[in-house]
Structure 1
């Protein structure tokens, strides 16, 4: 996933008021890990070794703690189980559907912002 798509997903997660408030760095780690899992293993488990290859060790450690405290990840021997099945499902679709989904989330965020006056 390219950086633009990652940050689009991060913004969509930040705009979702039903989710816990997390740092942008943790959200970025979350999106990158879920994208990796959706396109490689198809599972929702990431080992510590894979996590450290996706993101620098210090960043991944802090993000993993934050994501675990928020309930998005669960610690399991030697890695983490990703609980966010909604994002896993969204990112496991074809690239065209991913771009369409991200565009819909951006449009939804814009329509629900203060800059749009409902009729």
Structure 2
């Protein structure tokens, strides 16, 4: 995600009442992680290693503590579960992701039709 898009998303999150209590750097880390998760199959879990590749280690540690205290992230063994499903859903609505979902539904419908003989 480009920096302009990240900071635009951070600005809109800052305008939201309950989200305004978090620091700008924590919101930036949150947006970068959610953007990463929106493009992976693990839609809510980010490992410690991936978190450190997305943001510098010291910044990611402080942001993770802040986001955990705020209840947006939950620490589990080896990483964090992102609880902000609303933002994950919003960022997952990328046109390519929707197209993949439609293709999967069409394939599933075809495989479950009477034209396919199960083995």
TM-score between both structures, scaled by the size of structure 1: 0.76
Are 2:3 and 1:3 equivalent residues in the alignment?
A: yes
Q: Which sections of structure 2, spanning at least 5 residues, go unmatched?
A: 97-119
Greater Cα offset, 72-81 or 42-51: 42-51
Residue segments in structure 1 that go unaligned for 5+ positions in a row: 97-119
Runs of 4+ more than 3 Å apart: none
Distance 1:87 1:44 in 2: 11
**8 A Cα contact 1:20 1:70, kept in partner:** no
- Higher CA-based Rg: 2
Hey, what's the Cα distance between the residues in 2 that align with 1:15 and 1:55?
A: 23
Q: CA RMSD in A?
A: 1.5
Shift of 1:95: 5.8
**Could you give the per-residue CA deviations for residues 5-62 of structure 1, whole angstroms, max 9, x where no partner exists?**
1001000110001335100000000000000000122420000000001000000000
Q: Which residue of 2 aligns with 1:30?
A: 30
> What is the aligned length?
96
Which residue does the alignment assign to 1:93?
A: 93
Query: Normalising by structure 2, what TM-score?
Result: 0.76
Distance change (3 Å), C-alpha of 1:67 and 1:47: same
